[in-house]
Amino acid sequence: MPIFHYVARDAQGAESRGKLEAATRKQALAQLRSRQLTPSRLDEGAAGAAAAAAESAGSISLGSFGGSGAKKRFGREHALPFLRALMGLVTAGIQVADGVKLLGKRLSDPALRALSAALWDQLSQGRSLSQAMTAQGAVFDDATVNLVQAGEATGRLGGVLERLVLDLEERAEIRSRLIGAMAYPAVILGMAVIVILIFLFFLLPRIETLLASLQGNLPLATRLLIGFANFLVGYGWFFALVGAVGVSIFWAWRRKPEGRLASDGWLLKVTGVGTFVISNDILRLTQAFSLLLENGITTLPALAMTERTIQNRVFRAAFAEARGKIAEGAGISTALGGTGFFPPLVIDVISVGESTGNIVPSLKEVARDYRKRIANQAGVFVNVISVGALLVAAGFVALVAFGIISAVFQISASLKAG
């Protein structure tokens, strides 16, 4: 009978290692559950290579959960409702694997049921929740997976899920505010585009003969308007095509490591945008670092996990260099201050916490401050975009109106003179 080697944790979070005999992996898993153990690793014999096989991120075939055999697509939008539902079950005392299996049968959203089925398929083979989530990279980012892994390592997954859900809800709220605030300028720009299209394809051809009667006596504004209109009609498609191809090439290049690093560096140099990006990453890393330390992860492993939560690659590289200095014995505040990305006030707050021997409260204070700062920055960003959109739309409409009115007055003056 096959022998399975396992690493698991009991209800109190204590780690247990050993081996057991079972006919199949599922039977081995059932034995561990009967002992009230949650496995983080379960390998058959010395090989264990099959445990590394992961299904493709983004789609799965529905088996007993879906019943239709159709494929369901997942995205980042499914992370929050799934984690919220799982948090409710875990905090109620249900084991993670049992909770995921239950969600695969009870959730009303077919995509969420399919996601639960994909995760349960991994869990039933002895993998941990973080390993199963890694296989669904289209849904769960590195930060989420790392925090779940930390929760499993310390036996405090319920608390980690609560913090994750709270963080995702706050981000979703900021995102919804941005989308709602952008609705008005988007409508204004849309109306301006409609006015321009109506002028180009309906109004201009009908008055062009009339305007031609003035020959060289057209007002400057009208000549500019006609020239711009003819340019758009004749060459607009070409520039639109070149723009689409350029965006596609840039996006493909950005997906490469060197492209991502270079473009992230450019992004930091954009006034306003760079500050917003850094603020988001500081919020992410302070939340993750405090949560890891709070749940019993030591400083250096916590820093390594925190590093993967940073989205901007330039900032991440600077943080990695600081982490190396901390490993060599430098203070946390000193090393982070050397990156150039943390404001002096933030470094001072971290330094105070470091001097007291408990840096977690300081990190939480920084996170609270940056949460408010990001909300304010988002509001300013929306206001700037709104004003810019209104000015652009007003400029286009004013150009069209002034060009036509100028021509009408010129025609009227010519008729009177004749």
- Mean residue pLDDT across the chain: 80
Q: Inform me whether the pLDDT recorded for 238 exceeds 50.
A: yes
List, for residues 316-347, the tens digit of each pLDDT value. 999 999 999 999 988 999 999 999 999 998 89
Q: Inform me whether the pLDDT recorded for 273 exceeds 80.
A: yes
Q: Inform me whether the pLDDT recorded for 60 exceeds 60.
A: no
Q: Inform me whether the pLDDT recorded for 48 exceeds 60.
A: no
Q: How many CB atoms lie within 10 A of CB 221?
A: 18
Instruction: Give the pLDDT score at 23.
Output: 76
Instruction: Give the pLDDT score at 318.
Output: 94
Highest-confidence segment of 70-79, 94-103, 129-138, 239-248: 239-248
pTM flag (> 0.85): no
Q: How many CB atoms lie within 10 A of CB 398?
A: 11
Indicate the pLDDT class of residue 69, thresholds 50, 70 and 90. very low
Indicate the pLDDT class of residue 213, thresholds 50, 70 and 90. low
Indicate the pLDDT class of residue 401, thresholds 50, 70 and 90. confident
Residue showing tokens 């286009």: 396
Instruction: Give the pLDDT score at 215.
Output: 55
Instruction: Give the pLDDT score at 30.
Output: 74
The answer to whether 42 touches 51, Cβ cutoff 8 Å, is yes
- Rounded to whole angstroms, the Cα distance separating 80 from 94 reads 19
**Identity at 305, one-letter amino acid code:** M
- Rounded to whole angstroms, the Cα distance separating 223 from 229 reads 10
